[in-house]
């Protein structure tokens, strides 16, 4: 047991922070040399870097990132703003970013906007106070003040998960990596129509708060109208996505539109909830009702029957966003047009196969 005296030795006095000068003295080198060994290792020999690293480890040295930011005008922080922490979609994007950024010394700062432009604006203002080297935003729709703040900051900005397309009168702030949600909606309708479905519904949550969902619905309805099919079968919920909400959405749609023979859900979690409810009711999927999801989350391939869905390259998007940021920060990348990473319809067993395809799950 520690004595009161020994405990007070630890907590009663504030220990002086170990500085880079302390590390330099311990390693027997100049302070500037120690700084280069830790921050610009390519400028020193391997032997010298190893000696400085050992000294830093011996002294439990932690670099003062804030001080470094004050000296350089920026910090090594890279804020990433996502609309929600609920979906694994954004977890995989973060994993892609994490693969690249820490190895170059940058650290991710995470913020959730909860699908609110006002919250995004406040978060951007707070994060810019940390003098970040760059910032990653979800989507291309921001408040006017957010746009002004980011342009004034003069740092690289990457917008992900949506595509700035001239025909949609949208413009990227800087770097842009994503895909067209309107094209996704159109492609889903064409796919379901090719499977023989004629009364196709869309179901989602918080749709009015998410511009990406709005664009997806617009593409969905536009494609239905072009095919001369009903385009008014829409289910909405003001609650966050969950299995229970998916159940309630399909229940409501079946009540209001008994003629419905297919549903495209805003995400796989909602689709899974709907599938469970259909099984409880004895509704055959896909013979009586087709169910299709979006994002190809892990649960999709493990459902029985496995879920037909839309796969988006989330991990690749994160890695690519990191690579573009690092290239811009290194001064090797100038203006860049939006990058369309595309998407893929993954045919599984909750939809009938089109005549020219087999019914083998992916």
pLDDT tens digits for 292-337?
999 999 999 999 999 999 999 999 999 999 999 999 999 999 989 9
How much is the average pLDDT of 11-15? 46
Please, which residues bridge with residue 290 across strands? Answer: 262
- 324 torsion bin: left (phi>0), alpha (psi -120 to 50), beta (else): alpha
Same fold across 75-179+314-331 and 181-311: yes
More confidently predicted of 61 and 302: 302
Torsion of CA 64, 66, 68, 70, to 10 degrees: -150
Assigned fold of 4-63: 434 Repressor (Amino-terminal Domain) (1.10.260)
Task: Say what the pLDDT of residue 60 is.
Answer: 87
3-state secondary structure at position 320:
helix
Res 13 pLDDT > 70:
no
Beta-carbon-side half-sphere exposure of residue 7 (alpha carbons within 13 Å)? 4
Assigned fold of 181-311: Rossmann fold (3.40.50)
Q: What is the DSSP string of 19-52?
A: -HHHHHHHHTS-HHHHHHHHH-GGGS-HHHHHHH
Where are the domains positioned within the chain? 4-63, 75-179+314-331, 181-311
Task: Say what the pLDDT of residue 103 is.
Answer: 86
Lowest mean pLDDT among 63-77, 195-209, 284-298: 63-77
For 75-179+314-331, CATH number?
A: 3.40.50.2300
> What is the spatial distance between Cα 185 and Cα 181, in angstroms, rounded to a whole number?
6
How much is the average pLDDT of 131-150? 95
């Amino acid at each position: 047991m520690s004595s009161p005296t020994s405990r007070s030795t630890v907590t009663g006095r504030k220990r002086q922070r170990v500085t880079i000068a302390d590390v330099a003295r311990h390693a027997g080198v100049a302070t500037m040399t120690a700084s280069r060994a830790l921050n610009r290792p390519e400028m020193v020999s391997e032997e010298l870097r190893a000696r400085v690293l050992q000294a830093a480890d011996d002294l439990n040295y932690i670099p003062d990132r804030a001080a470094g930011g004050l000296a350089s005008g920026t910090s090594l922080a890279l804020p990433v703003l996502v609309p929600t922490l609920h979906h694994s979609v954004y977890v995989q994007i973060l994993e892609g970013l994490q693969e690249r950024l820490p190895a170059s010394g940058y650290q991710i700062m995470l913020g959730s906007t909860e699908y609110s432009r006002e919250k995004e604006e406040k978060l951007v203002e707070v994060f810019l106070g940390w003098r970040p080297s760059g910032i990653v935003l979800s989507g291309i729709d921001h408040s006017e003040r957010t746009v002004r703040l980011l342009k004034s900051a003069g740092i690289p900005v990457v917008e992900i998960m949506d595509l700035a397309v001239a025909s949609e009168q949208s413009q990227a702030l800087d770097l842009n990596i994503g895909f067209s949600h309107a094209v996704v909606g159109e492609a889903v309708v064409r796919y379901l129509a090719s499977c023989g479905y004629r009364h196709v519904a869309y179901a989602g949550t918080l749709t009015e708060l998410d511009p990406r969902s709005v664009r997806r619905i617009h593409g969905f309805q536009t494609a239905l109208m072009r095919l001369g099919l009903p385009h008014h079968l829409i289910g909405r919920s003001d609650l966050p996505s969950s299995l229970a909400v998916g159940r309630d959405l399909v229940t409501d749609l079946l009540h209001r539109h008994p003629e419905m023979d297919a549903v495209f859900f805003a995400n796989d979690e909602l689709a899974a909830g709907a599938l469970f409810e259909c099984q409880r009711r004895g509704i055959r999927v896909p013979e009586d009702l087709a169910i299709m999801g979006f994002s190809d989350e892990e649960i999709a391939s493990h459902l029985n029957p496995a879920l037909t869905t839309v796969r988006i390259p989330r991990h690749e998007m994160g890695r690519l966003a990191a690579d573009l940021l690092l290239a811009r920060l290194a001064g090797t990348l100038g203006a860049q047009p939006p990058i369309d990473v595309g998407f893929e319809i993954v045919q599984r067993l909750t939809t009938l196969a089109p005549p020219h395809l087999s019914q083998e799950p992916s």
